[in-house]
Structure 1
């Protein structure tokens, strides 16, 4: 559905047979016409995925060659920013279903994606995963299945993320703990017995650790509701491809709402956690204490990447629920309603069974 910019190289492509729009076919390297079946191969990129120098972007965001303006619509309900095409008069927010009006569109500067992870499963497969999930739910209302009828409610979204690379160097000081055991008598009389009690000897430790931190993944969007759950937010980044807008055809693209600076701060916290893990491993022994650690990062680079997820907002008895399917692995996570009566009658049945057992026992 969504294109990135008015550049000719990124305008939507039309079918040479019938003129309909070509869209990306998940799991392939092809654009496909849904009307006549014509397919067109996406030309492989001759360039590699580019890592951008972090410092220059933090200092001069907007004046560098890898950024440009993009037209956006902002959802006032959940805060998502979604890219739209000129031929849309209105559309709904992919996260919460609230209406988005084209007259509210605005333009702003953003950093172009450096890489994209194409969808590997199509809309029908994602919707089938959702239906199977609903059928497996315990205590779900009987008529919940009606909410799974229309696969058009399941929309493919490219979600924005930052990745950060850096050389890490850290000095640390702390203590190395080594276990030893002493015999101890516990109890009295017939219950008197000896046990082995574990204790720890502590030795001072200090040193330095260094290494390369690769592809620290930081989410780049933040909504009041409809946030992609951590359970499905795992992708194989080794399969990233250099950015090509052809992979976006037929899908919605979300713009980042967490700026590069905030994403960098979050990645620093991850780097400190990694440094702490490396320091403990370097200290050795049976257990470790790190009293101080000084982390330095150098040669920092970053990428803005787009990762695939299917999202659906469905309503059941007036309440909105969301579910999410990882567009690469098919892992699902979502909100679900419970049947009060199913739980009520189960509790009654359990009380009845317990009463029968007590009656026969007595």
Structure 2
């Protein structure tokens, strides 16, 4: 099986490779500063019919991309859609129209440049109250890599038949004895009634991470993503940045999406049941007009070494939201615990002293 070819984006000024400049609509040459405007897309972002996709034959194994760098001539292999030549730094972008993998349909371009990522990282580090003071120095020297991370988005109409129970509260008066005195109190009880019904909802752009390089939990912490700002895929937007190829197939992705949908559908069922409390016993959902696309989302990814251990940091390339691993200063934590304990002790002493 032949591997997809590599495309290049030479500078019209000096011939070097240009890269997409975050937050703009141009590609900029890192050497002479010449800017080339990215042509406005001639089409809209499309959603693909999932049923039609399943009907087509698929090839499971996909070869790596083989490329010859136009800058230095080096031949390399990679599973990335875009990267920089490891020898001369020239920007390489795979031809996504070739090969057996699904081509990206849309991209949310980087809005945060390298300086912006460093600013976001410094702000995050300063807000880590229980981190060692020496951690503040790593943000200055840290090298972040701009990376487009693949995600599947799924749209679907859903109709769900459910069974369950509706709980309605009522109160009874109980008599009890306390310290030789007879007293009464109101006690809440719940009367349950069988319930069933049908709820419908349309889901739009349910996001599912399509890579194992970064965990879904880490990526979820970077949400929300402005998927409404997604543009039709254009190789120029990923030129000069690293782009991961998807590893999670659509058949796996739809199952994860259905799990996310199920949580929302259960809440719809509970609202439909009404009452004071609800129990949902069964939910049978039918999915209609399922559509999907491959979307590239911008993430600054970096690792830093602290105390002999490596920590990873992720930054949303649009909003600047930072999530990451960090060390803890047990000295700060211990001093805080002691300070809280001392404050509680002082309050207790004042209460006792006032009662004396």
TM-score by length of 1: 0.79
Stretch moving more, 289-298 or 265-274: 265-274
1:310 deviation in Å?
Answer: 0.8
**Distance (whole Å) between structure 2 residues aligned to residue 36 and residue 258 of structure 1:** 40
- 1:210 is paired with a residue whose SS is strand
Aligned to 2:121: 130
Alignment match of 2:22 (pick from 6, 22, 26)? 26
193 and 40 in structure 1: CA distance in 2 versus 1, 3 angstrom threshold = farther
Aligned CA distance change for structure 1 residues 254 and 61 (closer, same or farther; 3 Å): farther
Whole-Å separation in 2 of the counterparts to 1:210 and 1:50: 24
Contact 2:49 / 2:292 at 8 angstroms: preserved in 1?
Answer: yes
Tell me whether 309-318 or 205-214 shows the greater mean CA deviation. Answer: 205-214
Task: Compute the displacement of 1:108 (Å).
Answer: 6.8
Q: How many residues align?
A: 330
Aligned to 2:35: 39
Distance change (3 Å), C-alpha of 1:145 and 1:296:
same
Is the 8 Å Cα contact of residues 162 and 283 (structure 2) preserved in structure 1? yes
Shift of 1:340: 4.3
1:48 pairs, out of 21, 44, 47, with 44
Compute the displacement of 1:138 (Å): 2.3
Deviation at 1:344, TM superposition (A): 5.5
Contact 1:81–1:257 (8 Å) recurs in 2: no
Q: Which runs of 5+ in 2 are unaligned?
A: 68-77, 90-97
Q: Give the drift of 1:28.
A: 1.9
In structure 2, the residue corresponding to 1:333 is in which secondary structure?
Answer: strand
**Distance in 1 of aligned mates of 2:184 and 2:219:** 50
Is 1:210 equivalent to 2:204 in the alignment? no
Quote the offset at 1:303 in angstroms.
Answer: 0.8
Q: 1: distance between equivalents of 2:349 and 2:202?
A: 68
Can you give the 5+ residue segments of structure 1 that lack an aligned partner in the other structure?
Answer: 74-79, 92-106
1:142 and 2:133 matched: yes
Change in CA separation of 1:42 and 1:158 when aligned onto 2, cut-off 3 Å: same
Paired residue secondary structure (2:218): coil
**C-alpha deviations, 1:293-328, integer Å up to 9, x for none?**
211112111111111111111111221001111111
Which one is further off, 287-296 or 306-315? Answer: 287-296
Partner SS state of residue 199, structure 1: strand
What's the TM-score once normalised by structure 2's chain length?
0.80
Verify the 8 A CA contact 1:69 1:110 in the aligned structure 2.
no
